[in-house]
C-alpha cells in the first residue's frame, strides 16, 4: 500500500503543490501524535480511577440491595412500596461541559433538594421497620458516588472514542498519506529530470543538424577537406 | 434541568426511587430498549440500567457511548455484580489503546 502513488500529472505545478501538502501532512502528523500521547496519559489515569470507583460503587450497591431485601423481609411488600411512593428528596441535576483535549465531557452537578432538612424519609415510622431506615441511609450515602461514577464513565467512553480516532489518524498519516506523497514527489521529480535529459539530447541533436546544414560539413568531408581539425 | 432515570426489575429499583430518581420497572430486553431510547430523547442525562438487562441490549447502549448525553451506565442489580460494568471500562481501554493494558494482568 505504501508504494502506491497518487494519480497525478507529473508537472512542476503538481510537484510544488504536493510538496506543500507533504509539509502540512508532516506537521499534522506531529501534532496528532502529541495529542495522542497527551490523551493517552489522561485516559489511562481516568480508566484506572473509573475501575476503582466502579468496584467501590458496586460493593456499596450490594449493601443497599441487601438492606432493602431485609426491609422487605420484615414488612410486607405493599407497605414498603407504598412508603417509598412519594420520595421527599428530589434531585436537581445540571449539566455543564468541560473540555479535555478538545473532547467535550459532561460535568454533572447535583443538588439534593429535600423538602425539610434533616428528615429525608418519605414515610412515618408507625408502619415501617428500622431496617428500611437503614436501607434509606445506605442508598442516600451511595448516591453521590453513583453520580461520580456516571460522570467518570462517560468521560472514559468519550475519551476512548476520541483516542481511537486520533490513533487512526496518526497511523493513516504515518503509514499511508506521507509515504504516498513522498513516492509521488519522487516520481514527479524523476519524470521531470527524465524530460529534461530528453530535451537536452534533443537540443544537442538539433544543433548538430542545424550546424551541418549551415556549413554543409557533409559535402566538404566528401571533398576531402579536414573539417574537424580546422 | 436534567433528570436521572433507573431501568431495571421492580425489586432492584425501589431503593432508587426513594432518593428521588425516576424509575422504570421493566424486565424484558425489548421493553428496556424502548425505554432507554425514549429516555434518551427526553431530558435524561444519566440512565442507570441493570447489568442483567444491559447485557441483552448492547447495541442500544453502545449507541450512546460516543455522544455527550445521556450517559448510560450499567449497575449491578440485586443479584450481585456480573462484572459487566468493569467489562465496559476494559472495552473502552481496548478501544482506545488497541490492547487491554490495564486489566490484563490482574484478572
Domain borders along chain B are: 3-79
What is the CATH classification number for the domain harbouring A121?
1.10.287.3240
Per-residue pLDDT band for A204 (boundaries 50, 70, 90) equals very high
Chain B positions contacting chain A at CB under 8 Å are 1-4, 11-12, 14-21, 45-46, 48, 65-66, 68-69, 71, 73, 75-78, 80-81, 85-86, 88-89, 92-93, 95-98, 101-103
Q: A167 near A123, Cβ under 8 Å?
A: no
Specify which residues B23 forms β-bridges with.
Answer: B6
More confident residue, A228 or B21: B21
State the pLDDT at residue A186. Answer: 94
Say yes or no for a CB contact (<8 Å) between B81 and A40.
no
CA-closest candidate to residue B64, choices B75, B48, B80: B48
Task: Tell me if A15 is assigned to some domain.
Answer: no
Per-residue pLDDT band for A212 (boundaries 50, 70, 90) equals confident
Q: Is the pTM here over 0.95, yes or no?
A: no
Say yes or no for a CB contact (<8 Å) between B96 and A62.
no
Say yes or no for a CB contact (<8 Å) between B19 and A89.
yes
B61, B92, B94: which to substitute to probe chain A, counting the most A Cβ within 10 Å?
B92
Residue A137 φ then ψ, to 5°? -60, -45
Task: Tell me if A229 is assigned to some domain.
Answer: no
Specify which residues A188 forms β-bridges with.
Answer: none
CA distances from A19 to A13, A182, A189, A191 (A): 10, 8, 11, 15
Say yes or no for a CB contact (<8 Å) between A91 and B4.
yes
Q: A170 near A33, Cβ under 8 Å?
A: yes
State the pLDDT at residue A201. Answer: 96
More confident residue, A81 or B91: B91
pLDDT at A218 > cutoff 80: no
B4: nearest CB among A65, A93, A157: A93
A95, A136, A145: which to substitute to probe chain B, counting the most B Cβ within 10 Å?
A95
Per-residue pLDDT band for A216 (boundaries 50, 70, 90) equals confident
CA distances from A46 to B32, B97, B105 (A): 29, 13, 18
CA dihedral B55, B56, B58, B59 (to 10 degrees): 180
Percentage of chain B modeled with pLDDT above 90:
1
How many alpha carbons lie under 13 Å from residue B32 in its C-beta half-sphere?
A: 27
Lowest-confidence pick of A94-103, A104-113, A201-210, B36-45: A104-113
Task: Tell me if A226 is assigned to some domain.
Answer: no
More confident residue, A120 or A170: A170
Say yes or no for a CB contact (<8 Å) between A93 and B103.
no
B102: nearest CB among A44, A163, A164: A44
CA-to-CA distance for A135 and A65, rounded, in angstroms? Answer: 8
Percentage of chain A modeled with pLDDT above 90:
32
Task: Tell me if A164 is assigned to some domain.
Answer: yes
CA-to-CA distance for A106 and B71, rounded, in angstroms? Answer: 9
State the pLDDT at residue B105. Answer: 47
Helix (H) or strand (E) holding B24: strand B22-25
CA distances from B15 to A36, A63, A164, B10 (A): 42, 11, 37, 10
State the pLDDT at residue A19. Answer: 96
Q: A84 near A135, Cβ under 8 Å?
A: no
B36, three cell numbers:
432507554
CA-closest candidate to residue B64, choices B38, B90, B102, B25: B38
pLDDT at A121 > cutoff 50: yes
pLDDT at B106 > cutoff 60: no
Task: Tell me if A227 is assigned to some domain.
Answer: no
Q: Spell out where A24-138 has E strands.
A: 89-100, 103-114
Mean pLDDT of A85-112: 78
A120 Cβ contact list (under 8 Å, min separation 6) = A88, A89, A114, A136, A140
Residues in chain B with CB shorter than 8 Å from the CB of A40 are 96-97
Per-residue pLDDT band for B66 (boundaries 50, 70, 90) equals confident
A153, A168, A169, A171: which to substitute to probe chain B, counting the most B Cβ within 10 Å?
A153
CA-to-CA distance for A169 and A36, rounded, in angstroms? Answer: 10
State the pLDDT at residue A21. Answer: 95
More confident residue, A72 or A152: A152
Model confidence pLDDT, tens digit, residues A179-196: 999 999 999 999 999 999
A173 secondary structure, DSSP code: I
Selecting from 1.20.1740.10, 3.40.50.10580, 3.40.50.300, 3.10.150.10, what CATH number does the domain B3-79 have? 3.40.50.10580
In chain A, how many domains are there?
Answer: 1
Mean of all residue pLDDT scores within chain A: 84
CA-to-CA distance for A182 and A194, rounded, in angstroms? Answer: 18
State the pLDDT at residue A11. Answer: 92
A184 Cβ contact list (under 8 Å, min separation 6) = A5, A6, A8, A18
Specify which residues A105 forms β-bridges with.
Answer: A98
Residues in chain A with CB shorter than 8 Å from the CB of B105 are none
State the pLDDT at residue A222. Answer: 77
Q: B29 near B55, Cβ under 8 Å?
A: no
For residue B47, give the chain A residue with the closest CA: A150
Q: B15 near A64, Cβ under 8 Å?
A: yes
Amino acid at each position: 500500500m505504501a508504494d502506491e502513488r497518487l494519480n497525478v500529472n507529473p508537472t512542476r505545478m503538481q510537484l510544488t503543490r504536493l510538496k506543500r501538502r507533504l509539509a502540512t501532512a508532516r506537521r499534522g502528523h506531529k501534532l496528532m501524535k502529541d495529542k495522542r500521547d497527551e490523551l493517552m496519559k489522561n485516559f489511562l489515569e481516568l480508566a484506572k480511577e473509573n475501575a476503582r470507583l466502579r468496584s467501590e460503587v458496586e460493593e456499596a450497591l450490594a449493601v443497599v440491595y441487601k438492606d432493602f431485601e431485609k426491609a422487605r423481609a420484615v414488612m410486607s411488600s405493599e407497605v414498603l412500596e407504598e412508603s417509598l411512593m412519594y420520595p421527599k428528596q428530589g434531585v436537581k441535576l445540571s449539566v455543564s461541559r468541560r473540555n479535555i483535549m478538545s473532547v467535550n465531557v459532561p460535568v454533572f452537578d447535583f443538588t439534593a433538594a429535600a423538602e425539610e432538612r434533616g428528615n429525608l424519609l418519605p414515610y412515618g415510622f408507625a408502619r415501617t421497620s428500622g431496617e428500611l431506615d437503614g436501607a434509606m441511609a445506605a442508598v442516600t450515602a451511595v448516591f453521590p458516588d453513583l453520580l461520580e461514577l456516571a460522570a467518570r464513565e462517560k468521560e472514559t467512553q468519550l475519551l476512548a472514542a476520541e483516542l481511537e480516532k486520533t490513533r487512526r489518524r496518526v497511523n493513516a498519516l504515518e503509514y499511508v498519506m506521507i509515504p504516498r506523497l513522498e513516492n509521488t514527489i519522487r516520481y514527479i521529480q524523476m519524470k521531470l529530470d527524465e524530460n529534461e535529459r530528453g530535451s537536452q539530447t534533443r537540443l544537442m541533436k538539433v544543433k548538430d543538424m542545424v550546424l551541418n546544414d549551415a556549413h554543409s560539413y557533409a559535402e566538404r568531408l566528401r571533398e576531402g577537406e579536414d573539417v574537424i581539425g580546422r | 434541568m436534567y433528570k436521572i432515570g433507573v431501568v431495571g426489575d421492580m425489586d432492584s429499583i425501589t431503593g432508587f426511587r426513594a432518593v428521588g430518581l425516576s424509575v422504570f420497572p421493566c424486565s424484558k430486553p425489548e421493553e428496556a430498549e424502548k425505554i432507554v431510547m425514549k429516555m434518551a430523547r427526553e431530558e435524561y442525562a444519566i440512565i442507570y440500567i441493570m447489568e442483567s438487562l444491559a447485557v441483552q441490549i448492547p447495541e442500544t447502549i453502545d449507541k450512546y457511548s460516543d455522544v455527550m448525553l445521556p450517559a448510560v451506565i450499567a449497575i449491578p442489580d440485586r443479584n450481585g455484580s456480573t462484572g459487566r460494568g468493569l467489562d465496559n471500562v476494559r472495552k473502552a481501554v481496548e478501544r482506545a489503546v488497541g490492547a487491554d493494558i490495564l486489566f490484563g494482568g490482574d484478572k
